Amino acid sequence: MADKSIPREQSDRPGRPAPRIHLRIMATTDVHMHLLPFDYETGRTTAAHGLARTLTLIRASRAEVDNALLFDNGDFLFGNPMSDAILRNMMRGRREVRGFHPIVRTMARVGVDALNLGNHDFDQGLEFLGQVLDGAPFPVIASNLTLRPVPGAESAPRPAILPFALLERQLRDTEGNRHTLKIGVAGFLPPDSIAGLYRGPFRPEYQDIVERARLLVPQLRALGADVVVVLAHSGIGSGIHIPMMENAILPLARIEGIDALVGGHTHQLFPDAARPWPEGVDAAQGLIHGTPTVLPGFWGSHLGEIDLTLAPRPGGGWHVETGRARARPALQHDADTTQVVPAAMPDRKFARYLRRLHDAMIARSQEVVGETRVRLHSYFSAIGPSMALDVVHRAKLDWARRALEDTPLEGLPLVATASPFKAGGIAGPEHFTDIAPGPITWLALSSLYNHLNELCIVRMTGAELADWLERAASLYQRIEPFGGDQPLFAPMTPLYRFKALAGCSYEFDLSAPARYTVAGQLSDPAATRVRRLEVDGVPLEPNDSVLVVTTMFRAAGGGGYRRVRPGAVVYRGRETAREVLAEHLGARGPVEGPPLAAWRLAPVAGAAATFLSSPRAAETLPVEGFELSAGEPTEDGFRRYRLALDKEVSYMAEREVGAGERLANPVRSGRKQP
């Protein structure tokens, strides 16, 4: 980063300091197409998200200063039912809306200076991304991604993705004079994170974020950059640089020459003085190792602001003298009610622009795709089998069974994965799946599965599957025997990275250390929390073969799970997970319990686990197989719950489930090894 200790230069006018330039860097990240303050899954207006509110903040922020630049830090394109509807229209040849994709048109109208791509922006492949960005009036950056043509593959158009941008801008100093400055912009996405390119004519090659930045930042300086802005679709993570690490903000902030740093990807908020941070982090000033840094939340919840003061250099040009960062909220918590309330009104022009598309979404929201006789919720999905995840498990197993019919792989054990995408955390106490008994609408599918991931079947060994489960178990904190009540998760743990399996049984021994960190980095290779991993009552040995129904995102190493071996993907579908889920619900009849999954948290003597969930979760108590009790509400709108761990109760121990019930494709205990 630039040397902030350079003394203030004096002007040639005695007694008067040289003029300064005040520059504001504004940033959004992880919008995921949450454009309007409306929850299409519930059919209600929400204060919790919506780019329409952030646009109001952008205009207010820009009006406060003479000089401002605006950047988006990726994962803008997919993530809610509106993005799905626009995808269908554009792939059918319709350009939405008025020639551009709505979010690109919005970025152009609000004056985005550059866009850094995130991993999910590639979810539907390069061709669709190219259609979306065709004609975009701002540079699109991915500094650590190279797309190599596949030999012999049919060529296809691709978006103009740049390794960096060098922007020239006229900036006004404190005396009203204008100066032409060069702003260098680099952008990074998390390595090994793109699943949407593996079927197309290009293959991604990644470079390590930190190593690439060490090369690129001096190059930008050599090209004349007065200010260097780094947009990293990466979370704060560990302070120790590990090659190809996913969340690299801490080591990235140490690099000399970076003047402003924007993070994202993990949906974290920084600066946030309420959270504990590692050494080198100044949450009051928004500095990490002295570098002004902001992570602006997600879904338009905050606008990132980095304010820099630039001073002239003696030989010409400018350097950053001081800097600080803040995250400007579009929402806030009411201290009396603990409810989320808006801090900014939606931009009215933007709301009118999207009115037709919004009305079409509302009209479709009541289309029924299935029925449930039980309440499908994710309130306790990380402490035991969940009916909300069970629907996903069954749909994946049915899909895989049909795909493998009459193939040599048909006799192998078959298990399915599912994650609780909506499980509170940094998204707040309203962010849970909760579908009442009755009809399941099309838009409710987004609550069960809110990504356009493509499904695949991966052949693994028993050891590889156990390692995936060790990664899932790393989200829990260690529980000490006879330690009484202990927190089950660290604050704001991303439970959407948890993974539950159906088609096998297992337990997590939380009295043992974790093999991985919460971010997915290997920390203790010898640690083992997974116990009694069995298929159809038979232990799954390390060298046994098993077929795992998962997504290409996960197979590619997304979420901190180990990337599968080359050639391990034995089948890849063209349907998205949500399409498979809709077909399954339409064909199977009403959803009812109990779940197929058979896993538990192993007993820990003299211990209980406490965790946060929605206040509405208390309505579902008692839960069969768990000794659960509800505690007091918290200031941020959650409610604390207590799970006794010193009792021998679980689905796995008490339910009598036959192989035919447990698996959509029953597993033979002999287990062929094709």
Amino acid at 504: C
Higher per-residue pLDDT: 334 or 423:
423
pLDDT tens digits for 217-263? 999 999 999 999 999 999 998 899 999 999 999 999 999 999 999 99
Which range (176-180, 233-237, 284-288, 442-446) has the least confidence?
442-446
CA 258/CA 71 separation, integer angstroms = 16
Q: Could you tell me where the DSSP H helices lie in 64-153? A: 81-91, 102-110, 125-133
Residue 11 CA from chain centroid, whole number:
48
Domain boundaries, the chain: 21-357, 369-662
φ, ψ for residue 227, nearest 5 deg: -130, 135
Q: Are strands 500-502 and 281-282 parallel, antiparallel or unpaired?
A: unpaired
CA 577/CA 588 separation, integer angstroms = 16
User: What pLDDT does residue 580 have?
Assistant: 93
What mean pLDDT do residues 619-644 have? 93
Q: How confident is the model at residue 338 (pLDDT cuts 50, 70, 90)?
A: low
User: What pLDDT does residue 339 have?
Assistant: 66
* Reported CATH class of domain 21-357: alpha beta
Q: How confident is the model at residue 576 (pLDDT cuts 50, 70, 90)?
A: confident
What mean pLDDT do residues 600-615 have? 96
CA atoms within 13 A on the CB side of 460: 26
Q: Give which of 33, 27, 78, 48 is closest to 427, Cα–Cα.
A: 48
Where residue 39 falls (left for φ over 0; alpha for ψ -120 to 50; beta otherwise) is beta
**Cβ proximity of 423 and 17 under 8 Å:** no
CA 453/CA 514 separation, integer angstroms = 28
Other Cβ atoms closer than 10 A to 496: 21
The pLDDT mean for the chain works out to 88
Residue 471 CA from chain centroid, whole number:
17
User: What pLDDT does residue 156 have?
Assistant: 61
The proportion of the chain whose per-residue pLDDT surpasses 90, expressed as a percent, equals 62
369-662 belongs to CATH 3.90.780.10: yes
Beta-bridge partners for 172: 178
Q: In the 3-class helix/strand/coil scheme, how is 146-201 assigned residue by residue? A: EEEECCCCCCCCCCCEECCEEEEEEEECCCCCEEEEEEEEEEECCCCCCCCCCCCC
pLDDT tens digits for 204-226? 899 999 999 999 999 999 999 99
Q: Has residue 670 got a pLDDT over 60?
A: no
CA 9/CA 311 separation, integer angstroms = 7
**Cβ proximity of 524 and 515 under 8 Å:** yes
Note the pTM of the prediction, 2 decimals: 0.78
pLDDT tens digits for 303-333? 999 999 999 998 889 999 999 999 999 887 6
Q: Could you tell me where the DSSP H helices lie in 248-308? A: 249-252
Contacts of 261 (CB under 8 A, 6+ apart): 229, 230, 232, 249, 252, 253, 288, 291, 292, 293, 294
In our burial notation (b when 16+ CB lie closer than 10 A, e otherwise), range 183-220 reads bbbbbbbbbebbbbbbebbbebebbbbbebbbebbeeb
CA 25/CA 361 separation, integer angstroms = 34
Q: Has residue 376 got a pLDDT over 80?
A: yes
Q: Has residue 124 got a pLDDT over 80?
A: yes
Q: How confident is the model at residue 574 (pLDDT cuts 50, 70, 90)?
A: confident
Q: How confident is the model at residue 155 (pLDDT cuts 50, 70, 90)?
A: low
User: What pLDDT does residue 99 have?
Assistant: 60
Which residue is listed with tokens 């990504």? 451
Q: Which 3 state secondary structure label does DSSP give 122? A: helix
Q: Which long-range contacts does 60-63 make (Cβ < 8 Å, 24+ apart)?
A: 60/344, 61/24, 61/26, 61/303, 61/305, 61/328, 62/24, 62/26, 62/111
Q: Give which of 271, 338, 339, 323 is closest to 48, Cα–Cα.
A: 339
Q: Has residue 92 got a pLDDT over 70?
A: no
pLDDT tens digits for 424-439? 887 788 889 999 999 9
Q: Give which of 223, 267, 220 is closest to 247, Cα–Cα.
A: 267
Q: Give which of 108, 101, 105, 103 is closest to 131, Cα–Cα.
A: 101
User: What pLDDT does residue 414 have?
Assistant: 97
CA 642/CA 159 separation, integer angstroms = 50
pLDDT tens digits for 162-202? 999 999 999 999 999 999 999 999 999 999 788 777 667 88
